[in-house]
Amino acid sequence: MGLAATSSAFLLAISGLFSIINPVGGALIFHDATSDRTHAERLALANRVGLYSLLVMLGALWAGSYVLNFFGITLGALRIAGGLVVASNAWQRLNAPEQQEARKQRQAEHSGPIEDVAFFPLTMPFTTGPGTISVAISLGAERPARGDGLLWFFLGASAAAAVMAALILLAYRTAEPLMGLLGPSGARIVARMMAFLLLCIGAQIAITGVQELVLPMLAGRS
């Protein structure tokens, strides 16, 4: 029973987090944003971003829904806002990925030492931004109310966050050979494909939020 519940929570969380984070696409951005850094600095940054991403995901999974309840924000409203932010960012990447990459590179360069850029902007918003937080909070809101089910759920969801953090770390540490394999043209093609996928994900998150808010209203009128 416990293993099945943990596995179910893990699969649910890993699929949702992977689709929104997209470590491969993030690695391309990471490479461009740290192009002026040494190899050792890139590895150190990748380690820190992996750790900080894990903390962001765990924080959103564990405490996000409680924060929403405290401020009276519905899950539907969160999904609409998060989906719109993700879709807007993806639309900009899709139409002008080179300008987006240049802007992110300038932001990273102007931020100074590794300690300053690892969390902002490399972790937030580049890696685990509003979309990731929205998905993680939505996952946390699906938790069982109480009992052993709650423990198994958070074990599975936390394991998924840990795996995602490891994938981020691995992808970012290998960003340089990945760029060498793809080349400039290949990287631009992959970036546009990832941007379109992200646009669809953002639209789906927003649509789900609208359905959660509108359907109960329509049911109440009928």
Tens of pLDDT, residue by residue over 146-179, are: 667 888 999 999 999 999 999 999 999 999 998 8
Q: What does the buried/exposed string (b/e) look like for 131-150 if buried means 16 or more CB atoms within 10 Å of the residue's CB? A: bbbbbbbbbbbebeeeeeee
First to last CA, the chain: 40
Spatial separation of the C-alpha atoms in residues 217 and 222, rounded to whole Å: 9
Task: Tell me the whole-structure pTM to 2 decimals.
Answer: 0.85
More confident residue, 111 or 201: 201
Spatial separation of the C-alpha atoms in residues 151 and 144, rounded to whole Å: 9
User: Looking at this protein, which amino acid is placed at residue 99?
Assistant: Q
Question: Which stretches of the chain are DSSP H helices?
Answer: 2-21, 23-33, 39-71, 75-95, 97-110, 114-117, 130-141, 148-173, 175-221
Evaluate if residue 44 carries a pLDDT over 90: yes
Categorize the per-residue pLDDT at 181 as very low, low, confident or very high, splitting at 50, 70 and 90. confident
Kindly report, residue by residue over 60-82, the tens digit of the pLDDT: 999 998 888 889 988 899 889 98
Spatial separation of the C-alpha atoms in residues 62 and 38, rounded to whole Å: 36
More confident residue, 139 or 96: 139
Q: How buried is residue 92: exposed, middle or buried, by Cβ count under 10 Å (0-12/13-18/19+)? A: middle
Provide the CA 198 distance to its chain's centre, in angstroms: 10
SS3 letters for 135-185?
Answer: HHHHHHHCCCCCCHHHHHHHHHHHHHHHHHHHHHHHHHHCHHHHHHHHHHH
Evaluate if residue 129 carries a pLDDT over 80: yes
**Which residue, chain included where needed, has tokens 């490891």?**
166
Residue ranges covered by each domain of the chain: 2-221
Cis peptide before 23 (omega within 30 of 0): no
Q: Which two tokens stand for residue 138?
A: 């939505």
User: Looking at this protein, which amino acid is placed at residue 172?
Assistant: Y
